[in-house]
Amino acid sequence: MYTYETDPPHYELTQNYLVNDSNKQFNILFINDGINAHIMYISDVEALTGFQYCNIQKKVNEKFGDNSQITATLIPYAIASAVKLTNGIHSFYYDIRTENLLDKWLEQLFEEAKLVKKDNKYNDETIPQYYEVPIIGFNSAKFDISVLFKNLKSKDWVISKYLGSSTIVKQIVIKHKCSSIQFRFIDFKIYSMLNKLKDAVRDFGNGQYKKGSFSHEFVNINNYMEEMNKSELFPIEAFDNQLRNKKLSEAKYQAYLIEAAMFANRCDYLKHYDILDTRILIEFIDYLIDLMFKCKVDMLANISMSLRSNAIKYSKAYNDFDINGDYNSECTDKSNEITICY
């Protein structure tokens, strides 16, 4: 978050990428927005991969030029993925205890993409096939994509396309140098006007999974190692959201107590919580894709709500059209006879 020396003070959400090679910290210029989640989906096939990403905020208060300063950075501390293949769903998870966890996650993601590619292979091998994997993030344009941006620029990956401005990323396409697989990062909000993940679960989920609760604000850069290794459950005060001035309801806290009691410590519960979110995301992404497919529209092939609406409109217009039918051309318009005065 930039703080400009103006009267009155002016704050602006933006993105910047400052890397400290000694400890692999990412200096992202905005405040912690809590949970951000992602889905990766291969269009028109059975295979699907999703991931859930969490971060913590570190205050730095470093000067940036003469008139601004960096007040906080975001440090990734957990990431989980769920892979849906034709033979079932499996998950993998990394947290801050793993060195270079985002690099490890990207390497594992590529290995999973190979399995997805195998599942999606055409029966007729003579047909050329283009392997582009859309990775859909929930509200990712301002947050998760920025933190992952540095990790995408490695010896194995190259950023081939970039759509958006320096402050808001609409789409990033990265290509693996040694294979034909490409990843396309997109913000899910181009497919929906919902601003919160729990609202998307409410409107699009089938009820199999429910969004859990985790104390993200209570865990910070100074206490995360000590707090996350504890076996005690979080007190209800730990769920207070000072940014939005909200508290966790008693009913939701009781649900958390029942669920968290099944795990040995808070780290194990966080792993369960993140993996559960990936299953939830797969649920409502599948719902939207199936909904669009009823109108013969590929949701992932359109990068805006207006394009999808236009495609559905023309699909409905040609709903009763038979491509093999015999249609006689008949003009029913009345002809205009031009008189002498014209």
Separation of alpha carbons 298 and 226, rounded Å: 47
User: How do beta strands 69-85 and 157-164 pair?
Assistant: unpaired
Separation of alpha carbons 14 and 8, rounded Å: 19
Separation of alpha carbons 113 and 40, rounded Å: 10
Rama region for 227: left / alpha / beta (φ>0; ψ in -120 to 50; rest): alpha
Q: Provide the pLDDT for residue 254.
A: 94
Q: Where are the alpha helices (DSSP H) in the chain?
A: 101-119, 144-152, 197-204, 224-228, 250-260, 266-293, 305-317
Write phi, then psi, for 58 (nearest 5 degrees): -125, 125
Sort 165 into a burial class: Cβ within 10 Å, 0-12 / 13-18 / 19+: exposed
Q: Provide the pLDDT for residue 288.
A: 82
pLDDT along the chain (342 residues), means of 10: 37 35 31 32 36 61 64 75 83 87 84 82 80 72 61 72 71 79 78 72 73 82 84 91 84 93 92 85 81 83 79 81 77 75 63
User: Which value, to the nearest 10 degrees, does the dihedral of the CA atoms of residues 192, 196, 199, 201 take?
Assistant: 80
Q: Provide the pLDDT for residue 160.
A: 81
Q: Provide the pLDDT for residue 3.
A: 36
Separation of alpha carbons 234 and 257, rounded Å: 8
Q: Provide the pLDDT for residue 233.
A: 93
Q: Provide the pLDDT for residue 221.
A: 76
**Nearest C-alpha neighbor of 35 from the set 50, 53, 49, 51:** 53
Q: Provide the pLDDT for residue 209.
A: 73
pTM metric for this prediction: 0.70
**Nearest C-alpha neighbor of 150 from the set 1, 19, 337, 3:** 19
Q: Provide the pLDDT for residue 173.
A: 82
**Nearest C-alpha neighbor of 73 from the set 87, 92, 90, 60:** 60
Q: Provide the pLDDT for residue 259.
A: 92
**Which pair of structure tokens corresponds to residue 143?**
């947050």
**Which pair of structure tokens corresponds to residue 204?**
């699009």
Q: Provide the pLDDT for residue 1.
A: 34
For residue 57, list its beta bridge partners: 74
Residue pair 89/115 in contact by the 8 Å Cβ criterion = no
